[in-house]
Copies of this chain bind each other. A is one copy, B any other.
Amino acid sequence: MKLIEENPLYTIVNPRSIALFGASNSFSMGTVIYKCIKHLEFPGPLYVIHPREKHVQGVNAFPSIRDCPEIPELAVIVLPAQVVGETLEACGQKGVKRAIVISGGFKESGDNGEELEREMIATARKYGIRVLGPNCIGVTNPHRQLNTTTFPYTAPSGYIGMVSQSGSFIVQMFTYLSKMGLGFSTAFSVGNEADLDCVDCLEYLALCPHTKVIALYLEGIRRGREFLDAARAITPHKPVVALYVGGSEGGKRAGRSHTGALAGPDYLYEGAFRQSGIIRARSVTELFDFCYILGNTPLPKGRRVVIQTDSGGPGTAAADACSRAGLALTSLSSETVEKLTEYVPATASIRNPVDITFYKNPEYYTEGIPRTLLSDENTDMLLVYILMPFEIISLFMENMGMSRDQAIRESLTMLDQQSASLAQLAQELGKPVVGYTFRDVSEEVIQGLMHQGVTVFHGSERAARALDALSRYASIREKMQSVSVEGVTTG
């Protein structure tokens, strides 16, 4: 096993010091990036290089990289394409070994740009500088308080390692992920991939201890063979989820004009993903839903789901969604049915979906019932409908004589205890427990449940597709691990 420190990207996302080219006292992309680095409170020295200004954004600037008091570990370059080559030359002379070139105007913009890109890379090679970009939006590694992108990083430090051929895509996920309680472990925008590329990023993230699952946003892969080899080595140990947008007519046309990536027909990518154990997502929503569940729940032993609900419609919708997603609705054993009679009212449907219709005791819904269902040997996964009728509970508490504020507090406390109980159970029994709700997941009561560690999706369709992805990964992993063991035995 290689050491992560040996990966050329290590210093790019874990630099001790940074030199930034392109920040100024006016509105520019470089200035935005300066703001974003400061916003996340990067702890190391940040040297702003500016040929004329003595002070930039209120801090001392250095007229050239030569003047820096130390050799910065990373150069971040946000200058016009024409001067990037000479800037790298100066960096090389100083001894800088890693650079992120944010600037556009290279290969993606035509003949002259292609020439500029070749020259720039030649300069980098001369000095042994490894380059991410050009035409990218940088990287973010919240675990090291590093964010060289154009958006303030507002999500928590997370477990999703991201490689994106669209830079803007990454930054626009910051708020989206934070609403789901998720965050990036490290995210790379690879741009034109003139030197370091997707394959290097994959290899880095495979070794990254903060990364539980790898997300790929692809418009077209260049080093196909190496990409597949890398993926095949990773997927038995760490899930990889990919969104490929270059396969359709529209995606191909748009993607080409954007990064100059080589888009291939959809079926080719489909096959490649399948062979290398990559889970394919069909939309941005699926990409992060799949990452969410893969990083947050144990793997199931099979594809058999039990649905638990307190209300018929959502139960039917979930049963329909599970069927469409290709999951099996297990039949409960007679022991389970027998045990359940203790917890559910006589009107309940003790079939699958288990619809309790009303509560004998609200605590049963998050303890006795799911415990019984999960203990059934025919249950691989539990899908629980989450209503959390906060409005009704607090109305009632008010009616019992509490003040409005007190009623709200008390009902939140009650729901919080139920959430803790379900989360505890999920952890204890080691089978996937997933909630689905038609509430907005950003509501306080749902956030509370997610915060306790329960995976919750908006709507049964998203939950069902995520459970399908989880089961697919479980079987991919089983298959690939047995293959690699065989490989060792026979090799």
Interface positions of A (Cβ within 8 A of B)? 27, 31-32, 35, 39, 57, 104-105, 109, 150-152, 154, 164-169, 172-173, 175-176, 179, 217, 219, 245-251, 253-255, 257-259, 282-285, 307, 311-324, 329, 347, 349, 351, 353, 355, 357, 387, 389, 391-392, 395-396, 399, 437-440, 442-443, 458-462
Contacts and interface: CB of A to CB of B under 8 A. Distances in A.
A179 B254 CA distance: 32
Nearest to A442: B442
Contacts of A311: 166, 168, 172
A254 B306 CA distance: 12
A395 B152 contact: yes
Given A320-B254, A439-B175, A443-B175, A389 B169 contact: no
A102 B317 CA distance: 21
Contact of A285 (B109, B322, B443, B459): B459
Given A151-B391, A395-B35, A176 B322 contact: no
14 contacts: A154-B391, A169-B438, A172-B437, A175-B440, A179-B440, A219-B316, A247-B320, A250-B324, A251-B319, A254-B312, A254-B320, A257-B312, A259-B312, A440-B442
A324 B254 CA distance: 14
B347 A315 contact: no
A249 B175 contact: no
A176 B438 contact: yes
A59 to B, nearest CB: 13
Given A172-B438, A250-B318, 19 more contacts: A32-B392, A57-B399, A104-B347, A109-B347, A151-B391, A166-B311, A166-B313, A172-B313, A179-B440, A245-B317, A248-B319, A248-B324, A251-B320, A253-B351, A255-B319, A255-B320, A257-B312, A284-B317, A284-B438
Contact of A316 (B154, B258, B322): B258
A443 B255 CA distance: 29
Given A168-B314, A283-B459, A461-B283, A329 B57 contact: no
Contacts of A164: 313
Contact of A321 (B31, B109, B219, B283): B283
A396 B27 contact: yes
Contact of A258 (B247, B313, B440): B313
A217 B172 contact: no
A246 B312 CA distance: 13
Contact of A257 (B175, B355, B389, B440): B355
With a 10 A CB-CB cut-off, give which of A164, A175, A255, A391 has the most chain B CB atoms: A391
B459 A284 contact: yes
Nearest to A32: B392
Contacts of A258: 312-313, 315-316, 349, 355
B245 A169 contact: no
A395 B285 CA distance: 29
Contacts of A395: 32, 35, 39, 152
Contacts of A150: 392
B312 A105 contact: no
A253 B167 contact: no
Contacts of A172: 311, 313-314, 387, 437-439
